[in-house]
Chain A
Amino acid sequence: MTQERQFGNTILNVENVSLSFGGVKALDSVSFDVLEGEVRAIIGPNGAGKSSMLNCINGFYKPTECTIAFKGESHHQMETHQAASMGIARTFQNIALFKGMTTLDNVMTGRNLKMKKNFLWQSLYFGPAVKEELEHREAAERVIDFLEIESIRKTVVGRLPYGLQKRVELARALAAEPEMLLLDEPMAGMNHEEKEDMCRYILDVNEQFSTTIVLIEHDMSVVMDISDRVVVLDYGEKIADGTPDEVRANQRVVDAYLGVKHD
C-alpha cells in the first residue's frame, strides 16, 4: 500500500480473549482492534492460535473470558447465528462448502439470512416467497459474476478443483453482504497465479464494497502486500501489532519465525 488509506471507526474490538483446550492455552488474553474498511492480517507460526481467534469472533469457540465488541455492541461470547446476522461472514482453512450442492445453491445459502418471508411462505413457495427468491437469485448471480465463476454455476462443488472451491466459498461469504469478512488462509495450497487472482478479489471486495477484511495467511509476501495492519500471535500470545513494516522490523517476530539462538 503506497498511498495513504483512510479508515473509519473501530468496527471490531476484542479484549482479553483467553481460550484453553484442557490444559493447553490456545489464546492468552489477546486484544486487538479492527478499523472499518481496513485489511487486517493475523499471522504467526503454526499453532499460534490464529484460527482459534477467528473461531472466537464468529462464535464457534466460546472463550473463557473476553469481551468482543462488534459495531459498538459488546458481547461476552458470540453465537454463530448472531455473528452471521450482525454481518460477519467467513471462510475456512479446510473449505467448509456443501459438497453435494451446486455452486449456485451454495452461494444462495449465503443469502438465507437475508430472506425475510417466513418459513411457511417459503415452504409453500408461493406468492411473495417466489418474488423474494428471484431477487436473491439476482444478488447471488452478481456475486458469481464478480468472482468470475459463471461457468461452474451448476456444477456440484465436490467435483471442483481446490482453487475453485476456495473461490466458491468466498462467493458464499460475499453473498451475505457482510460488513466484515473473516478469511482463514484464503490462499493456502494455491499456485502463484491462483494466489494473485485471490489477492485481486480480496482487494476488490475491500475497495468496491468497503468490506472490512480480517485474514490469516502464511505467505508473508502476500500479507505484507495487501494488509494495512498486522497482528502477530505466537503460542497464543500477541507479540506484535502494527503496519507491515513495523512488524517486519520487530525483533520478537523475527525470533518467533526464525527461532532464537540459545547460547
Chain B
Amino acid sequence: MEVLNTFFVAPFLDMGSDLIFLTEVIIGGMMAGIMYSLVALGFVLIYKASGVFNYAQGAMVLFAALTLVGLMERHVPLVLAIILTMGVMIGLAFLIERYMLRKLVNQAQIILFMAAIGLNFVFEGAGQIAWGSNVKKLDVGIPDKSFEFGGILLNSFDLFAACTAAILVAILALFFQKTPTGRALRAVADDHQAALAVGIPLNTIWVIVWSVAGFVALVAGIMWGGKAGVQFSLVLIALKALPVLILGGFESVPGAIIGGLLIGIFEKISEVYWGPAFGGAIEGWFAYMAALIFLMFRPQGLFGEKIIERV
C-alpha cells in the first residue's frame, strides 16, 4: 500500500493541491521541450531527405555555436557573424555531399549511420581545434529576465526561443508540403532510384538539405548556447532528441515539435512529482523510458508515416 501511495496517489494529490505551481512546471517543461524540438528538427530534415539518421546533428549544433562565438570574440558584429557562420555551414554541406554522401548512394542505412557517427567526431574535433574547448559565453542580446504573467512566472529568453522554434517550424512545414523543392526532397527521401529516374538531381538536393539542417543547428546553437553557454556538452543534447524523435516520428516536422513539448513536460512533471519517490534526478533517464514504452504501442511515432508493405 505504501508503494502504491507514493507512486500512484501522492503525486496526483500534489498536482491538484497547487495548480499555479503545476502550470509553471508545465510551462517550464514546454520551454525546455521546445529546445529539444529545435535539435530534433535537424534530425528530421536529414532523415526525410536522405534516409540518414544524422548522428552528427548534435555536433553540428556545437560546431555552429562555436563558430559564431569564435567570430564574435574577434569583434565581428552579430549579424555579420551569423551570416558568416551560415556560410560555413553551407560550405560544410557541400563537403559532406561531395566526400561522404556521393560515395554512399544506394548503400544500406546502417552504412550511412556509421558514416554519420564518423562525421560526428569530425565536427567535434574540428570545432575544438578551430575554436578551443573552453566554455564560452554567447550573448546575442536576447533579454534573459523573469516576469510574472497572470500569477505565473515566465522567462523572456524561453519565450523568445519558443517563438523562434514556432516560426521555424511553420516555415519548414510550408517548404516541405507546398513547394516543388519540398516535393523533390520528399521524393528523394522516399526512393533514390525513382528520384533519379524522374531526373531529380540527388546531389543538389542533398546540399540543400544539409544546408537547411546546418541552419537549424545554428539556430539551436544560438538558443542553447545563449542559455547554457557554448560548451562541449551541447553535443549531448542531441541524445535528448532521440526520445523526441521516437515520440514524434522520424519523418514528421510537426512531430518533432509536439514530441519535444511532450518530452519536456513529462520530464519536468516526473522530476517534480515523482522525483522524490525515486530519490531524485530522474529527469536524465525518464524521457528514454517514456519513449521505450511508447514504442511498444506506436512504433511509427505519433505522426510517422505508416507505410503498408504488401506481402
Q: Chain A: residues with CB nearer than 8 A to chain B?
A: 58-60, 80-81, 83-85, 89-90, 92, 96-101, 105, 108-110, 112-113, 115, 119, 122-123, 125, 129, 133, 136, 158-159, 162, 172-173, 176
Contact = CB atoms under 8 A, between A and B. Distances in A.
Contacts of B310: 162
A158 B307 contact: yes
B183 A96 contact: no
A123 to B, nearest CB: 5
Interface string B216-238: 00000000000000000000000
Contacts of A99: 190-191, 307
B199 A112 contact: yes
B181 A105 contact: no
Given A100-B307, A101-B186, A122 B179 contact: yes
B185 to A, nearest CB: 10
27 contacts: A58-B197, A59-B196, A60-B197, A81-B199, A92-B194, A92-B197, A96-B191, A96-B197, A97-B194, A98-B190, A98-B194, A99-B307, A101-B183, A105-B183, A108-B183, A109-B184, A109-B187, A109-B195, A112-B180, A112-B184, A112-B199, A113-B198, A123-B181, A123-B182, A125-B174, A158-B308, A176-B198
A112 B271 CA distance: 50
Given A112-B199, A176-B198, A176-B199, A100 B193 contact: no
A123 B179 contact: yes
A60 B199 CA distance: 11
B197 A84 contact: yes
Given A92-B193, A99-B191, A133-B180, A85 B199 contact: yes
Nearest to A98: B190
Contact of B190 (A59, A101, A176): A101
A113 B182 CA distance: 14
A122 B181 contact: yes
Contacts of B186: 98, 100-101, 105
A113 B196 CA distance: 11
Contact of B208 (A96, A119, A125, A173): A119
B198 A172 contact: yes
Interface residues of B, number: 29
B12 interface: no
A contact face: mostly helix, strand, loop, or mixed: helix
Contacts of A125: 174-175, 178-179
Contacts of B204: 119
A250 to B, nearest CB: 32
Given A99-B307, A101-B187, 13 more contacts: A83-B199, A92-B197, A96-B193, A98-B191, A100-B307, A101-B186, A101-B190, A105-B186, A109-B198, A122-B179, A123-B179, A123-B182, A162-B310
Most buried by A among B175, B180, B184, B195: B180
B73 interface: no
Contacts of A112: 180, 183-184, 187, 198-200
Nearest to A126: B179
B14 interface: no
A81 B105 CA distance: 15
Contact of B183 (A60, A84, A97, A109): A109
A244 B215 CA distance: 59
